[in-house]
Amino acid sequence: MQNSFFNFLFLLLYKHHSKHIAVFIVSTLLVGLLASFMFLSSSIKHDALISLKEQPDFTIQKIRGGRSVDIPISLVDKFSDIKGVSYVAPRVFGRYYLPDRKHYFTIVGVDFFDEQLVTWINKLTKNIDIKTFLSKNQMIIGNGVKNYLKNHYYDSYFNFLTPTGKEKKVYIFDTLQKDTNLIANDIVLVDINLAREILGIQEDKATDIILNIPNPSERTNIKQKLLLINYDTRIITKDMLEKEYENLFNYKGGIFLLLFTITLITFMLILFQRYSMINNSDKKEIAILRAIGWSIKDVIKLKILETLSIAILAFLLGIVLAYLFVFYANAPLFRDIFIGFGNLQNSTTFTPVIDFGMLSSMFLFFIIPFIASVLIPVWKISITDANEALK
Amino acid sequence: MIQIKNLNKIFHTNNQNQFHALKDITFNVAKNEFVLLSGVSGSGKSTLLAIIASLLKPTSGEIIVNHKQIAKLPDLHASAYRNHDIGFIFQSFNLFDTLSVEENVAIPLIPTGLKQKEIDKKVTKALKLANITHKATTIAKNLSGGEKQRCAIARALVNDPQIILCDEPTANLDKENALKFIEVIKTLKQKGFTILIATHDSIFENLHEVDRIIHINDGKIL
């Protein structure tokens, strides 16, 4: 296509910018809104799936009456005897509800001999001295816990109330790094025995038992063996967790996509109506072009390129704004929809993750109806007698 | 150059509002001829001009321009014909108000595939011919009626057409500007253009350059 055509196209866009500005702004906002949710969803999913990699292959819970209850530690040895199992460890954790009964801390007991857990803690902190940390009544806390304590209690310790009514004063040893906020915002890491005391878990019991099975093809067999030995247990596999995460984010993303589709259709209908009731100056513009020798094809080409330029510019600007909004401004308002309003305030930052496949689909879903909603009315005008339109 | 045979135009056919605008029109225009289509408003002269420019399709009859049948041309050919063979000057000028004079004049050249340099060259030539070079960069809405008219003339000439069609060219002009327009038309006649002007303005009737006056009334040639 020759340069003069583009020169004329950009000239018209520039001279008639006031005519297109409303459509451009609404389009940019729509794209920005959808892209923000997509970026958020991809980023959280990415971080969640990475944290999932640290999870054990199997998590075993004891079930009674359909509820999860504490599991005897004696089972650890039994599980260790199963061939193919490489690592078995009991875990002690639970929720500690604060007096307002709305907020809670997630207490996680740390066993000095639990290598996997110690490695994980070292990743979340800046390689602290675990031995010193565990030697006293001390805790490593997430940033949500830190802020909550600072605002409502003391900033150096907290008095936990045990189920027996005893107060347990625990000092803050360290705070987890900010980039762990997504997964560890409300976490309180304490010595495993202290965790038992705070949560009221007996010495011979644990919340659950975790184990690893290095050979993936063995997992189904070992799961069946475990269920045979312990009929009253529930085994949560890493795959199940992964699917649950996927479903959760896809569900939230899906609801948003539905809302976006409804908004987009409404916008396209408005656009269609705007061009159907095309004003006299637009009509005359097309008629003049036809009268001085432009063919219907030329007029439609001009209008397609005009619409395409607006749509592409709005799309790119929307994407850039969404990127800045999510990854620089940390998506105020929107992030609560994805990471929940429920517990302690979360000031997490999002890892920049861009799903190009999703962006391409979004581009097509946006551009095609956009062009169609403008083009059909323009085509209708183009095929009418130029002489009639000039009157 | 232009042969018109038994031309009829009926608007709203098979309708209660059916209107027979042109009735059995037949005439020829030779090359470099200057023809006036004269008649009162609603007599059908503008419709005739629109059909010659292929802006309207006749209901029946033939129009042959440069040995080409143009009565039933499909859109692509009709627009090419308008673009290459015809320069149309409208009563209300029909300019793009927000564009400058030179930008307006360049519009017919855009779909031709010419390079920007060639377009600029042709625009300069047309502006000179229509005597509007001094207003080349002025926005059309800021022009006077006469200047708008000259801009429209330049646009009509930019593609080097052989035929110039003018529909009531002096209707929106004062006497001074009407006379200036006539001067431009005289130059065009000298340069060999074939000119058809539909008008009811008597200012043209005594012009020495006019070769023939065709009187139209109620869609018929008198």
Please give the domain boundaries of chain B with CATH numbers for all domains.
2-221 (3.40.50.300)
Contact B56 A387 (CB under 8 A): yes
With CA atoms as reference, the chain B residue closest to A11 would be B99
Give the mutation candidate from A2, A4, A15 for the B interface (greatest B CB count, under 10 A). Answer: A4
Check: pTM over 0.80? Answer yes or no.
Answer: no
Helix (H) or strand (E) holding A363: helix A356-382
Contact A295 B79 (CB under 8 A): yes
| pLDDT value of residue B103 | 93
Chain A: nearest CA to B56, how far in angstroms?
Answer: 6
State the pairing for strand pair B163-167/B86-89: parallel
Residue A354 sits at the chain B interface (C-beta within 8 Å): no
Query: Which residue positions in chain A have pLDDT lower than 50?
Result: none
Q: List, in sequence order, every beta strand (DSSP E) within chain A.
A: 58-64, 67-69, 71-72, 87-91, 93-97, 104-110, 138-141, 157-161, 167-175, 187-191, 205-206, 208-212, 233-237
Residue B22 sits at the chain A interface (C-beta within 8 Å): no
pLDDT tens for each residue of A230-263? 888 888 888 888 887 777 767 666 776 777 777 7
DSSP string, chain B: -EEEEEEEEEESTTSTT-EEEEEEEEEEE-TT-EEEEE--TTSSHHHHHHHHTTSS--SEEEEEETTEE-TT--HHHHHHHHHHHEEEE-TT----TTSBHHHHHHGGGGGGT--HHHHHHHHHHHHHHTT-GGGTTSBGGGS-HHHHHHHHHHHHHTT--SEEEEESTTTTS-HHHHHHHHHHHHHHHHTT-EEEEEE--GGGTT-TT--EEEEEETTEE-
pLDDT tens for each residue of A62-108? 888 888 888 888 888 888 888 888 888 888 888 888 877 778 888 88
Q: Which residue has the tokens 């099975």?
A: A213
Q: Which of residues 265-284 of A touch B (CB under 8 A)?
A: 284
Residue A38's SS3 state is helix
Residue A384 sits at the chain B interface (C-beta within 8 Å): no
Residue B75 sits at the chain A interface (C-beta within 8 Å): yes
**B90 contacts in A (CB within 8 Å)?**
291, 390
Residue at A151: amino acid letter: N
**A386 contacts in B (CB within 8 Å)?**
55
Whether A171 contacts A139, CB under 8 Å: yes
**Mean pLDDT estimate for chain B:** 89
Q: Which of B98, B111, B115 sits opposite A15 (nearest CB)?
A: B98
With CA atoms as reference, the chain B residue closest to A294 would be B79
| pLDDT value of residue A346 | 64
Measured between alpha carbons, how far is residue B162 from residues B37, B187, B196 in Å? 18, 14, 11
Q: Is A40 left (phi over 0), alpha (psi -120 to 50) or beta?
A: alpha
Residue A102's SS3 state is coil
Chain B: nearest CA to A31, how far in angstroms?
Answer: 31
**A8 contacts in B (CB within 8 Å)?**
106-107, 110
Query: Which residue positions in chain B have pLDDT lower than 70?
Result: none
| pLDDT value of residue A321 | 95
Domain boundaries, chain A: 3-50+244-390, 56-237
**Interhelix angle A356-382/A17-53, nearest 10 degrees:** 160
Contact B96 A285 (CB under 8 A): yes
| pLDDT value of residue A278 | 62
**B83 contacts in A (CB within 8 Å)?**
292-294
Q: For the purposes of burial, counting CB atoms within 10 Å of the CB of B187, is it exposed (0-12), middle (13-18) or buried (19 or more)?
A: middle
| pLDDT value of residue A342 | 58
| pLDDT value of residue A318 | 93
| pLDDT value of residue A197 | 86
Backbone angles phi, psi at A173, to 5 degrees: -90, -45
Contact B111 A5 (CB under 8 A): yes
Give the mutation candidate from B9, B51, B55 for the A interface (greatest A CB count, under 10 A). Answer: B55
Whether A351 contacts A245, CB under 8 Å: no
